[in-house]
Structures are given as structure tokens and as C-alpha cells.
Structure 1
Amino acid sequence: MTDVFSTGVLTVTRSALAYLALLCGVLSLVPGMAVVGAAAIVLAILLGWRELRLVARIIFGLLVAMSALALVDEPSALMDGAVNMTRLTALILTVMLLSSLLGRSRDLEWISASLFAGRPTARYLSVSFGTTVLSVPLNFGSVGVVSSMIAGQVRRHGDSAMARNACRGTLRGFGASPTCSPLSISVVMTVTFLPGLHSWELISFSLPLATVYLLSGLLFIEREEPGPAQLEITASGWQRYLPWVRFSAIIGVICLGAFVLSGPGGLSYSKAVTLSCLSMVGLLFVHTVATAPAGQRNPLPSMAPVSNELVIVGGSAFLGALISSFALKWLGAGFILPGWGYPLVAALVPWVFFCGGMLGLNPIVIGTLTGGVLGPIWPVESVLGLGIGMVSGWGITTGGTPYSANSLLMERVTGYSARVAAFRWNLSHSVVSLLAGGLLAATMTWMLAP
């Protein structure tokens, strides 16, 4: 009985610490809040140590080692790391809350079923583009939702080209989100590290690039043989589109709020996205409580199980900030590249992300390091090229490497190997996409150079 009570208290404490970190991230401009938030995150991680994966434990170990080094050699970097850690953790926790509340929607069930309707080409495009749309507010939840549908197909009809193509479309669809979603951590971090770059400016180029990435995926799928009939959609007329319209309206309101808060509102883009998502979380929570039957009005979800996410997101952001500070110190304040070096580096940035992902490094670490080191020395006029390289590399890494969280989630739900998906199904598509993203990044850097 004591053990059960202790476990319950520990769970509640971990959840409370996560919500405290979220509050501190929202109030990060208040002096001392970033430090309190970082302390809450570290304590929540330590309390959930038994649940941490090996990669998360390694990241946390590096965090402790780098913090000790910074305390001796570069103490000011610790505050920068705490600010980054608290702000990005608040963002990911808010997105997870939004995902949890939207996951209870009946519209989501209908959308998931409709993704698998139609002929092979239309079905692949529906799954890939649909996953991208779902990823804007749901983040990893989109992969879980669509993967569950694929797993159901596999259970009923066995392994098939349709199921494998659906897995390809899901991974690539989620991979497109970091490239073009205004609410993704990749876009938020890129705009944060490159102050001369506006989110709308970046997305105006990255959205077409993500569209080409998804459409080109049709060249890298298997031919499907006629098989069992898929789920029929019985609704007709506008009824079949209403769930998509309602879901898209929620995304539109969140994006509009982020743009208004970061533009006329004058807030940093990361805080604007967090507040916009948090406002929608509040509205959805009130609606859920008001419409749920008596006795079924569930409170906000527990944040106790998010220890791995706290390390991967918050710890990686902290670690990246420290590494960037050391790198700038070692390179020197006056370090610059020759004129031809900037387009070349821009072309290589997507490959740096991808190679790091193949080694198991989270894109947050690579993104923080890339933005922290290259941002200060990059010409302001051509910063768009670097931004394109960062978000395209981030997206391709997310969709095409075996250690990304969405690939591992897909493997756990469907049974399809993440390594097979990365090396056998997606590698050729990833290489072509990396070449395209790097070429666009280099071209924009060269064209906009002063």
C-alpha cells in the first residue's frame, strides 16, 4: 500500500514539475523564471530516471558534463542554456497538451479513416499530405493516429505494398512538417537563431519545397496490386469535408495568433507560438468540460510520462546552447568565411542534419549548434539561404533516419522496421531531397549575398 501511495505521489510531483516548467516558459521574461523552469525540468527528469531511454540518459549525461565545464570556463553560457531549455520545453509541452485534447475529437477518427480511401496514388497523397496537416497541431500524435490505422490494415489483410506505401507516406508527411509548419520547433528555432529572418519569409520558400518533397515521393513507392477493398466513406456532399474544415480552422486560428503576436505583438516567435497554442488548449479544455457527460469531465492530462521528451527537447536545447558558446569562443569573435564559403556551407547544412540523425543525434542539437555558430557570422542579407538549409535538413532527417522519434513510433505500432524504412524505403528519396534542399539553400545564399 505504501509503495502504491509513493508511486502516486511521485507521479503527481513529476506532472506538477512539468506544468511548472510550462508556466515558467510562458513567464520567461520575468527575472529568474528561466532558472526556476530549468530546475523544474531537471528535477522532473531525475524523478523519472527509470523511464528514460538510453539515448535520453546519454544526452542528460552530456548535459551534466558540459554544465560542469561551462561553470569553470564560460559561466554566462549557463543562463543562455537555461533560457533555451525553458522556452523550448514550454513549447513542446503546450503542443503535447494540444495534441492530447484534439486526440479526443470525433473529427480525428473520421479524418484518419478518410486518409485510406481512394486509389493507390490518391491514397498515398492523402496519407502524406494529411499527415503533414495533422502534424501542425498534433506533432508526434499524427504519426500515432495514422500508424494505428496502418496497423489495423496489417492485422486484417497482412503485409502488403499498400501498408508499406502508407508507412512511407506517413514518415514523409511528418518529415515535411518541420520544413514548413509555422508551429514546428524547427521553424521556431531557426527564426530564433537567425534574427534577420521572418517566419513568413522562410515559409514562403519552405512550403513549396515541402510540397515538392511530398510529390516526389510518388517516384519512390511500390506498385500496388489489387487487394481487399478499403474502408468505405459513407457520408456524401459537404459532410465528408466538414471534419477537415473544422480541423483546418483550428490550425488556421493558431497560426494566425502566432503571426499576430510575433508581428504587431512584438513577442519572440517561440513565445508567440507557445501562447497561441496555449490559448487554443484553454478553449478546447473548456469545450471538453462543458460538453462531456457528468462524471466524465476529465482534467488536463498528466505530464508525468514526458521525461524522455524533457531530456530530448529541453536537454538538447541546453546542450546545443553550451556547445555553440564554446564553438564561438574557440573560433573567435572576428571569424568569417570567404565569399564562396557561404553558399557551400548552406548546401552542406542539410547533410549535416541528416548525417547527425543517422548517428542518433536529435535535430534539436544540430539545429542549435548550426544556428548558434553560423547565425552570428552569416550575412544578414542572405540569412534566408541558411534558414532553408536548416529546415529542409531537419525535415528530411525526421522523415528518413531510423532513430527519429516518429520512425521508432511507427515501428512500435505497425511492426515495420525503422531501419528498413530508412535504408531500403526512403534512402534514395532522402538523398535526392537533400540535394534539392542544399541546392536551393546555396542558390538563395548566393543570390542574396551583399
Structure 2
Amino acid sequence: MSATTPTGIPVEPRSAVLRTLFARGYIHQATHLAGLDEAFAAGIVPTYAGFDATADSLHVGHMLPIMALRRLQQAGHKPIVLIGGGTSRIGDPSFRSEVRPMLSAEQIASNIAGIRTIFGRLLTFGDGPTDAVMVDNADWLGDLRWIEMLRDIGRHFSVNRMLSFDSVKARLDRQETLSFLEFNYMILQAYDFLELSRRLGVRLQMGGADQWGNIINGIELTRRTTGEAVFGLTVPLLTTASGAKMGKTAAGAVWLNAERLSPFDYWQFWRNVEEADVGRFLTLFTDLPLDEIEDLAARQGAALNAAKERLADEATALAHGAHAARQAAETAGQAFGRGAAAEGLPVVTVTRTELASGIPLVDLIVRAGLARSKAEARRAIAGRGVRLDGALVTDATRVCHAQPAPERLSHGRKRHVIVSVMD
């Protein structure tokens, strides 16, 4: 099977894992694909992805590199999860408009404890040759001596080139502050690659597309220091079919820890994705075979809703476990009605013409009888009591449109209305 990189370089992968990464859409950019393909075909390739401990949970935006590590392990390679206990003290300047807040050692330790749990559900840890391991870069960054760092590592970096990286250039072009502390982040991330190459034989770093410059730095530092051939690969930064950033809702980030976001709300996030995204998200965020995904994505109407529920079931089972996914699906069925269970719920009717122009949500709430006035509807939204298609609504100015058309409207846990769209 042939494949083409986003930059147009033709590739005939020999290795099964590279074919899988291409087929499922995990590759945005990669260095020396032919050499990486040979390495994959020749034996186990230890591969790492890094995650800073800036919060006590990861969010769904982190799922793509974790799923890519999962694919590598499924194909017989070794994933290394790098927790940035050291780099979290500084902050990556990548495309941010402001400096990260400084975290205390206690906050970082608490955050690390919170984010560890998700990896155990998606990767198999242990002492075997392809078992995942977790490391913390505080173990080596904390021991670096300033003069030795400048002499042995700093001499390999060109400031001119560092200023040209998009993540830095964007801040400077906007005339925003870029601290010397942040500027050093890319050097420390490059050093992580070198250290992991020495300690664990790591040959590949994966990360989001915004990490490309940092990954290149690590490759060049490792090559110049040890002579080892190492590689880099980025996964795409996903947007929805309508152009919105993947993993953001009106209520904020879609967190992976149940303490931050319940499995039910996580299930609802996937259930309510845009129709055009169903096939792509099934490919990226579930283990379903590609032929089954093709069948699910081709469905229309009510059958496509069933495909969305399958996406929600599979994605939630990976992040929270099969039991939590079943409970979330059952709760959704009881609350919103699925099949025969929908009988007896009230119905509010809207026309496609109305939806084409846009219906203010507060108007729809009043029309559905869930509030007596627009002011009461706004208060219900402000009190976090309104859900549209299972997703919490926090914006009282929200407008409902035909794409996607609303299906269910809820006020509290017991008042639910089916939205019927008429021609």
C-alpha cells in the first residue's frame, strides 16, 4: 500500500506500524521517513511523547499522541511516557499569548499524580521489551549544572534559528513578552531527547504539530552529541469539520479525569460531534477495524446517530473503562430517550427555515415550556441547568442552527424535551 506524507513525499512503508499510522491519519510531519520505516521493520523502536504537568488532568487534545503511542505498542514497539516534572516549572512558549503561571513543586507533584491514571488505561506498563515505561524529566534536568549546560549543550543551538521557529516568531510578531526562561524551554526539551536516547535507547519522539521545532532541535542535538540516527514525528492538531478547535466546548476543556469531567459528559462530547467528523474520529480515537469504521461513517439519518453512539461508547471505554461507558450510555438512554424509551417525552417543533436563520436558545427553551420567560431561561443557563443534546450550555447568547440541528433539550435532570424539525 502506498502512502503520501502531507508534504508530498511518496512512501511505500515496509513496516506494519507505519502503514497503520498513515492509514489512520496520525502523521502530520515526519523526519526521514525511509529511515524510520527501516528502523520499524528491523526491530523494536523505543518511542516517547512528553506531557507537562500544568494541570491535574490531561484533556482530549492529548489523546492523539497517546493513541499514536498505543498504535506503536500494538505493533510491537516500546512507548515511553515522559512527564515534564522539570519543564513544567518553566512552560513551553508554543503559540501562547501569555506566560504560563509559575507552579510550585507541590502543585506539580499533585498534577503528576492526577495525570498518571489515563496512561494505565491506554498503554500496557511493565518490564517487558515492549511494555510502556513512565519517566520524569525532573530526574535529570534538576541535576544540570549551568556552566556545563552552556558549554556542552548550549553551543549546539543557533539563536538566529531559534528565533525563526513559528512558536517563538508568533509571540515576537505580536510584540508579546517572551521571557528568557521560556526561551530556554526548547533547549531543555531537546536535552530530554538526548537523555532518553542515552538512558532508554529512544529513537523516535512524537508530539503535536506545534512541537515540530522542538523535536527537530532534539534530533540535531542527539545526532551531534552521540552520532545516533533518531527521528521525529508529529500528529495533526485537530479541528472539527466546521473549523473549531477539537476538544473545546462552551464549558471549557474536555478533561480525561472523571474528577474534572464525568464519564457521562465525556460520552456526550463524542455523541454530539459533527456528522462530518464521525468517520475520522472513529479512525483516530477507537480501536475499531477500518472496514467497520467505513461502514459506520457511510450511514445516514438515524443510522448515523447510532454510529455517533458507537463512537461515544468506544472512546469512553478507552478513557474511563467499559463499565463507565455502559453506565454513560444507559444514563443517556434514560434521560433523553432512545427507541421506545422516547415515548411520552414532550416534543417542541421547529422548522428548517427557522433553523436556517438561527433560533436563539433562550427562545427555544421558552417555546419548549422549560422556562416561562427569556429571563428565566438565562438564569437557568447561568445556573448550569441547561443541556442541549446532553452537552452543558453556558452561553446564554447561543443560537441553534440547522447544522447540526438540535435533537434534545433538557432543564435539570428530570425535564427533557425532544426537538422535532419539520419542513
Work out which of the two has the higher radius of gyration on C-alpha atoms and give 1 or 2.
Answer: 2
TM-score normalised by structure 2 residue count? 0.29
TM (norm. structure 1) is 0.28
Structure number with the higher strand fraction is: 2
